[in-house]
Structure formats: structure tokens, C-alpha cells
Structure 1
Amino acid sequence: MKPTIALVGRPNVGKSTLFNRLTKSRDALVADMPGLTRDRHYGHGKIGGKPYLCVDTGGFEPVADDGILHEMARQTLQAIDEADAVIFIVDARVGLTPQDKLIANRLRQLDRPVRLAVNKAEGMSASVVTAEFFELALGEPWPISASHGEGVRGLLDDVLTGFEVEPEEQVQDHPKFAIIGRPNVGKSTLVNAILGEERVIAFDQPGTTRDSIHIDFERNEQAYTIIDTAGVRKRGKVNEAIEKFSVVKTMQAIEDANVVVLVLDARQDVAEQDAHIAGFALEAGRAMVVAVNKWEGLDEYRRDQVKRDIARKLGFLDFARFHFISALEGQGVGDLFASINAAYKAAMAKLPTPRLTRALQLAVEKQQPPRVGLVRPKMKYAHQGGMNPPVVVIHGTALEGVPDSYWRYLEHSFLKMFKLQGTPLRVQFKKGDNPYDAKPGEFKPDRKGAMRGEKKPVKTTARKPAKKAG
């Protein structure tokens, strides 16, 4: 098993910068503002053939007894309990603080190795910058620069000393789903209900989650990765610079996921922003499951009203399965996994060319494409051009004038014929140029209309997803 390394320290000492350095990623948000990271954030790393798991934590406020700082401290303490080793990060520019002493007192009580990293030490004398930190009694301080990488390799080699190198397990493909929605609809509560523990901070305050948190877990011997994301507000209401970063991370999480779980609040009407968020996921081609949260305690009239509102404003999500749940009480949460698995299977489905061509022929026999001028588009055969979402490439002639209505007809036909539940599907057209349309002298066509000794030119046409109203 990979050793787990927890990064702890006061706010704004460079924990997230070091996390990105150790994982060779940009997964953790970094800005010159304290309190940016609030939840545990996991990432994989490897150095000198030794793999490890790194945990970024929020700013540690050991004396906080209520509010968001108290919740952040609880998350940090849980990360420390899970870790095999701890890197305690202090700020060389600020120097030793009373809060550093409180954290050190807590860490000295651990039965696991602790390394003291003096960050932001670039351009400074190592002996001078580390002198005052010997007072913490955590061994010899390591002067490093997380932003420049100075001293990080030596620190990590020291932390991993004593851990045996085990052969890495072969990575298996598994569903990766993102929880998305407006702020304060219960996304983090749903994540905690799925995991069966208070894994992320759930607080009655919009915008509690700011980063996208990736969590690996197993359910019924099936591996999953769940991504908790920050709530996406209307563009005009995104004022904080950090919240703008959070929106970007949410968009990246949608791109990174195989399946998206859109969370709605049954206590509120479906808002324009709900449709916009769903549109982001649809344009990315992601499979989708819709969870209508806070369903408990609603009377029949309100429930019927919510269902009518959803059908009217989110009708373009007719391919997705809808679940009415209570994340707080755990009602209906387990039923989400059947839909997530079905959506993932559909998004990653392999569609054989003979079956696709036969499905195309059946669709055309049932309803032919409308004429374009004097000619009717002729569709010859189809093959798969990609997955997540499934892409069907249709070859033929005179395909440039196929209207959007027939395009949608073909998409729905393929979804129905292959029983693909929970995923959108894309149709692309490829047509060959008519060799007789070329200028005289450019080439001489043979009797089949193809250029002798040359490959027939091909054009590709793909319809962009229609912009959804609402």
C-alpha cells in the first residue's frame, strides 16, 4: 500500500503549493489568500520509484471551537489520523508564531514520523532561517521552497525512508462521477451520505466548498472516484476572485468525469442557473444523472409542482434518469449507483460497425432525410468515432444540408436501438467530394469517380449541441 503523507500548517504557509509540487499537478487552488483550502484533498505522486499518496489540508486552527475554522481543524485532524507521515509546514518569512507552537504540541503526541519544513526559504541562509524553529522540538528543520522546488526532493526522500516499495497495482478503469449544482443544494451532504462519513465540510453557508475534491472509494467491490465541486453561481454574482477559480475547477471536474450527477433543490424552483449548469455538462458530452435533493417532508402538491417544473425547464435532459432523494436522511442515495453504472456503461459502450450500419439503415427506412435542393442525402454506412460520449460517424453523399431535426432524430434512434441510458450521443457526417466538380486538368477520374493513385478527399461535418433555453 502506498504511504500517505499529510501536509499540515497554519493558513497561507504554502501547503497547496507543496501539494501541487509533490503530485506534479495543479489540482489544488493556490492564491495569496489565507483559508483557501478547506477540505482534505488527495493526490498521487512518485519519486525515485516510490509511489505515495499526498493529502492537502486546510489551515489548522487548533483553538477554534466553532464555525468554519473548527470544521477545517476537524478535517485536518482526520487527515493526520489517516496519514503514515506528516509534513508540518511553517513560513520562513513570518518566522515562529504562537500558533506554530500549538500545532507542534499536537503533532509531538503522534506515534508517526513528523518532518518540519520551513517554506519560502529561497534566497535565505539555511542556518539562519531554520535556527528559531528548533524550539518546536520536531527534529532538524528542512529549508525548502515549494514554489521553486528547492530542497523538496531531499525532504521527500527523508519522509519516505523506511517505507517499503511495493509493486503498483494495475490501474483499472472505473466510473468517475462529479457532483455538480448551484451553491447550497446539498452537494457535500450527498458526498458524505455516499461515503458514509463526514468526508467533506457540509455547512449551512453557500460557497463552503471552493475546490474540487477527488475521493476514491469502493462500493459492492466496485471502485469509484467521486468529485465534490464548488457551487456555480450566475456570472454576475461571482465577485470573489477565489470563487471565480472555483467555477473554473468545476468546469474542469466536468471535463474530467465520466458521469455527472446534477443536484437540484426541491425546496426551490428550478432556476435558470440549473439549466446553464446542465448545459455545461451536455456540451461536454457527459453522461448524466439528476438527483432532486431535500425531498423529505414535501407534500404531494409541492412534489407534483417540482416534477412539472423539471419537465418544463430541463426537458433537454430526457436521456438522463431522475432520482428524488434526501441526502441528509440518506433516502434514495443508494439507488443512484444503478443509474451511475448504467450511464457509465452507456458512455463507454463499444458499438460494432455492422450493427451501427444496420441501425442506420433501419432509421433511414423508417424516415428518410429531407431533400436538399434537387438531391436527397444518401447515407451509406456508420462506424464509431469515439466514446464518452459515444460518437457515430456516418459516411455518404450530399450530407451538408441535413437539418438539425433529422440530426436529432438519428441521435435518438441510435440511443434507442442500442439502449444507451443516461448518456448523450453525437452524430458526425463525412462525405467525399465529387471528383467531377474539380477544375479541368486537376485530375482525371476513373469510372468509379475516384482519383487514380490518390486517396479520396473527405470532409467532416459535426453539429454543435444546440443551446438550451432556460
Structure 2
Amino acid sequence: MKPTIALVGRPNVGKSTLFNRLTKTRDALVADQPGLTRDRHYGHGRVGEKPYFVVDTGGFEPVVDEGIMFEMARQTLQAVDEADAIVFIVDGRVGITPQDKIIAQRLRQNDRPVWVAVNKVEGMQRAVVTADFYELGLGDPVAISASHGEGVRDLINEILDGFEVPVDEPEADHPKFAVVGRPNVGKSTLVNAVLGEERVIAFDQPGTTRDSVYIDFERNGSPYTIIDTAGVRKRGKVTEMIEKFSVIKTMQAIEDANVAVLVLDAMQEVSDQDARVASFVMETGRALVVAVNKWEAANAEQRDRIKREIDRKLSFLDFAKFHYISALGGQGVGELFKSIDQAYTAAMIKIPTPKLTNALQLMIERQQPPLAGKVRPKMRYAHQGGSNPPVVIVHGNALDHVPDSYWRYLERSFMKVFKLQGTPLRVQFKRSANPYDDKTKKPGPKPKPRSKF
């Protein structure tokens, strides 16, 4: 299982900047204004072969007892509880503050390992700037610059040294699918309909499922594993400590599955949170099937509305099958299973290299990659680099000049040629080595001229 690293500290010490550095994204808002981050923000990171979750938190003001800063402090404490390691970020230019001492005291009461990261030290003597922070009593402070990247890799390597590299388990020989979505859309009811019995609690109260539940079963003689997950609320509405913990459990369940079944409520609008869950499924590369539940209870106007909202807000899920079902009555569940099987088969497909290369050449004949100045990327052959999702690796020259539009063209074309329904496909480029690129490489001996005789 991936370790979870929580970033905590006072407002405006650089937590979001470090989050963006670790995740190689710009997902967290960054500005010279205290308190900009209010909710917890989850992301993925990787150093070498070691992946991890990272959690950005709002500024921690431990002395307040009401208002938004109090709620931010509660969320930070919850992030500490669910983390495997904590990075306590302090400002090297400001020095140690009374708030830093109070936060350190709170962190010492927790059994999680803590690293003190002294940020904003660019251009400063590290030994001098970190000396004062030994007073926090949390071990040796580490000097970093989140904005410039100085010391960040060494810090994360040190943290991850205490965790084993997640072992890739053998691929299951049967589909494992996670039922995900907002609370109270009927996920547990759908699980019970699939199983044909009351295996999980289901009643009209949002947030009933607190943890992910794995259930093995058979259907028509074929084995499956279904994962009932806790509902993923909008972050601003996640208040109970035990419910906040369920968010990361849901993320882990999606990664552990082969297929995600996203459940929507036909009686409600498609929310931004629905789109976020779908985006997370795509980021992890999992196959996807969408089930619009409570279809029997929706009137004609509601049905038209949700179909329009799906076209508008979930248009990026064009690879997924949509089903309009009634989990309570069992209508449409059988067809849903057909799509789960189809998505699983597509996600785990093995495609021979000759077939991939032939398909690639046909795509190039149909539409060549555009020129980049005087250079046109040349694609030679392709082979499969992985499954769940399928990964196609294309070899050639000048592939760093391939535009995103052509990248997407290749992905869509591969999916169409091999009839991959329900799973995303990823294309990666691998540029052939050019011995003349290395200017420092000494030239080898000149070849001897061939004899005329």
C-alpha cells in the first residue's frame, strides 16, 4: 500500500508550493496570502520506484477555537491521524514562532514519524538557518526550498526509506470492481442487488459506509470481487473525523480495482464532485462503467436533464458505457455486468507487437505527425508496455516534438482498432538514442576504407 505523507504547518509557509513540487502538478493554489488552502488536497507522487500519496492541508492555527481557522485546524489534525508520515513545514526566513512550538507539541503527541522541513532557505547558509529549529524537539531539521526544489528530493527519499516498495501483486484472474460515488446515491443498494442478499448496510442516511468492504462472489459460475466504498463528499462538507478517513480509503480502493463503477443519482444533478471522482478514476487509469441509479423514480424532465448534464460535464468519459438502472428493483443490473466484463477484458488485453506496429503504420499513413519547424517526428514501431490500463510504447526519433493533439489521435485510434470499450489507453513515446547527441562523447576510430578488390 502506498504511504501517505501529510504536509502541515502555519499559514503561508509554503505547503501548497511543496505539494505541487511533490505531485509535479499545479493543483494546489499558491499565492502570497495566508489561509489560501482551506480543505485537504490529495495527490500522487513518485520517487524512483516508490509511489506515495501526499496531502496538502490548510494553515494550522492551533490556538483558535471558532470560525474557519478552527475548521482548518480540525482538518489538519485529521490529516495527521490518517498519515503514515508528517512533514512539518516552517519558514526559515521568519524563524521559529510561538505557533510553531504549539504545533510541534501537538505532533509529539502523535505516534507518526515527523520531519521538520525548514523552507525558503534559498541563498542562505543551511546550517545557520536550521539551528534554531532544533528547539522544536522533532529531530534534525532539513533545509529545503519548495519553490526551487532544493533539498526536496533528499527529504522525500529519507522519508520513503522507512517504507517498503509496494510489491506488484500477481494480476487477479477475475474482475475486481469498486462501486464509487457520492454518499446516498445507492452504492450499497447496488452491491446488495449484485449479490442478491443484504450483505452490506443500506438505508437512507448519507455516509453509512465508513470503510471499503471487499466481497468475493460468483455470478453465472464466474468469480468476482466487489468493493463497496464510502461515499466521497465534497471536501467542504466532510466534517466527521471517521468520514474524512474514508476519502483516502476510497482512493485506495479505486487503485486496487480493475474496474470502477461510478454511481450517479438520476434525481440529482451531476455535481462537480461526480466529475472529480471520474477524473480520479481516469488519473489512475482504471476501466470505468457509469451507472445512473434511481432511473425508475425520475420523471421525463429529470431524465432529460441528467442526460444533458452528462453530455456537458462528463464528456471526457466517452470511452465508458453508461447504464440507466434501478438498484432497488434490480432493473439493468445484468446489462451493467456485461459492461464490467467488457471493460475488464479491455483493460487486461495483451496485444502482440506486430499488430501494434501494423496499426501504428496505418495511423501514420492516414495522418502523419505535423512538422515541428524542419523536423517531422518519425515513429518506427510500437509494443505493449503494461495493462490495467493498456500502455502502448512508441519508438522513434524526434518524438518529443509530437503535439498533444496527435498524441490523443493515436490513443483514440488504438482504442478503435482494437475495440477497447470501457478502459482508457495510454501512449508513451521512447526516443531512440542518438550517439551524436552527447557532445562530450569522444569519437571512435574512423572505419577503415573498403578494398576495391
Task: Report what 2:272 is aligned to.
Answer: 272
Flag the 1:439–1:195 CA change in 2: closer, same or farther, 3 A. Answer: same
Flag the 1:239–1:446 CA change in 2: closer, same or farther, 3 A. Answer: farther
CA shift for structure 1 position 434: 2.2
Distance (Å, rounded) in 2 between the aligned partners of 1:421 and 1:444:
51
Distance (Å, rounded) in 1 between the aligned partners of 2:265 and 2:282:
20
Distance (Å, rounded) in 1 between the aligned partners of 2:415 and 2:172:
27
Distance (Å, rounded) in 1 between the aligned partners of 2:307 and 2:229:
25
Q: Could you list the per-position Cα deviations for residues 313-366 of structure 1 after superposition, in whole angstroms to 9, with x for gaps in the alignment?
A: 000000000000010111111111100000000000001000000110111111
Matched residue SS, 1:312: helix
Distance (Å, rounded) in 1 between the aligned partners of 2:322 and 2:328:
18
1:179 aligns with 2:179: yes
Flag the 1:441–1:316 CA change in 2: closer, same or farther, 3 A. Answer: closer
CA shift for structure 1 position 442: 2.9
User: Is contact 2:267-2:297 (8 Å) kept?
Assistant: no
Distance (Å, rounded) in 1 between the aligned partners of 2:241 and 2:371:
52
Matched residue SS, 1:306: helix
Alignment of 1:188-207 (within 5 A): 188-207=188-207
Flag the 1:436–1:314 CA change in 2: closer, same or farther, 3 A. Answer: same
* Equivalent AA in structure 2 for residue 324 of structure 1: Y
* Equivalent AA in structure 2 for residue 374 of structure 1: K
Task: Report what 1:317 is aligned to.
Answer: 317
Distance (Å, rounded) in 2 between the aligned partners of 1:328 and 1:179:
15
Unpaired segments ≥5 residues, structure 2: 3-169, 448-453
* Equivalent AA in structure 2 for residue 350 of structure 1: K
1:370 aligns with 2:348: no
Flag the 1:238–1:299 CA change in 2: closer, same or farther, 3 A. Answer: closer
* Equivalent AA in structure 1 for residue 269 of structure 2: D
Matched residue SS, 2:185: coil
Q: Could you list the per-position Cα deviations for residues 226-248 of structure 1 after superposition, in whole angstroms to 9, with x for gaps in the alignment?
A: 00000001122222221121011
Task: Report what 2:432 is aligned to.
Answer: 432
Matched residue SS, 1:334: helix
* Equivalent AA in structure 1 for residue 203 of structure 2: F
Alignment of 1:323-338 (within 5 A): 323-338=323-338
Distance (Å, rounded) in 2 between the aligned partners of 1:362 and 1:394:
14
Distance (Å, rounded) in 1 between the aligned partners of 2:171 and 2:419:
28
Same amino acid, percent of matched pairs: 72
CA shift for structure 1 position 373: 1.9
Distance (Å, rounded) in 1 between the aligned partners of 2:443 and 2:396:
22
Alignment of 1:22-421 (within 5 A): 173-421=173-421
Q: Could you list the per-position Cα deviations for residues 135-156 of structure 1 after superposition, in whole angstroms to 9, with x for gaps in the alignment?
A: xxxxxxxxxxxxxxxxxxxxxx
User: Is contact 1:259-1:344 (8 Å) kept?
Assistant: yes
Q: Which moved more, 1:229-238 or 1:377-386?
A: 229-238
Distance (Å, rounded) in 2 between the aligned partners of 1:190 and 1:171:
26
User: Is contact 1:194-1:333 (8 Å) kept?
Assistant: yes
Distance (Å, rounded) in 2 between the aligned partners of 1:396 and 1:187:
46
Distance (Å, rounded) in 2 between the aligned partners of 1:291 and 1:200:
19
Distance (Å, rounded) in 1 between the aligned partners of 2:340 and 2:418:
18
* Equivalent AA in structure 2 for residue 181 of structure 1: G
Distance (Å, rounded) in 1 between the aligned partners of 2:318 and 2:306:
16
Distance (Å, rounded) in 1 between the aligned partners of 2:445 and 2:177:
52
TM-score by length of 1: 0.58
Distance (Å, rounded) in 1 between the aligned partners of 2:297 and 2:445:
73
* Equivalent AA in structure 1 for residue 438 of structure 2: A
User: Is contact 2:399-2:430 (8 Å) kept?
Assistant: yes
Task: Report what 1:96 is aligned to.
Answer: none
Distance (Å, rounded) in 2 between the aligned partners of 1:251 and 1:374:
45
Distance (Å, rounded) in 1 between the aligned partners of 2:296 and 2:436:
68
CA shift for structure 1 position 435: 1.6
* Equivalent AA in structure 2 for residue 180 of structure 1: V
Distance (Å, rounded) in 2 between the aligned partners of 1:388 and 1:400:
25
User: Is contact 2:216-2:225 (8 Å) kept?
Assistant: yes
* Equivalent AA in structure 2 for residue 221 of structure 1: G
CA RMSD in angstroms, aligned pairs only: 1.9
TM-score by length of 2: 0.60
CA shift for structure 1 position 446: 8.2
Matched residue SS, 1:189: helix
Flag the 1:445–1:310 CA change in 2: closer, same or farther, 3 A. Answer: farther
Unpaired segments ≥5 residues, structure 1: 1-24, 27-169, 448-470
Flag the 1:217–1:171 CA change in 2: closer, same or farther, 3 A. Answer: farther
Distance (Å, rounded) in 1 between the aligned partners of 2:279 and 2:440:
48
User: Is contact 2:410-2:427 (8 Å) kept?
Assistant: yes
CA shift for structure 1 position 441: 4.7
User: Is contact 1:435-1:445 (8 Å) kept?
Assistant: no
Distance (Å, rounded) in 1 between the aligned partners of 2:426 and 2:239:
36
Flag the 1:441–1:281 CA change in 2: closer, same or farther, 3 A. Answer: closer
State the structure with more CA Rg. 1
Q: Could you list the per-position Cα deviations for residues 391-415 of structure 1 after superposition, in whole angstroms to 9, with x for gaps in the alignment?
A: 0000000000211111111000000
Flag the 1:243–1:374 CA change in 2: closer, same or farther, 3 A. Answer: same
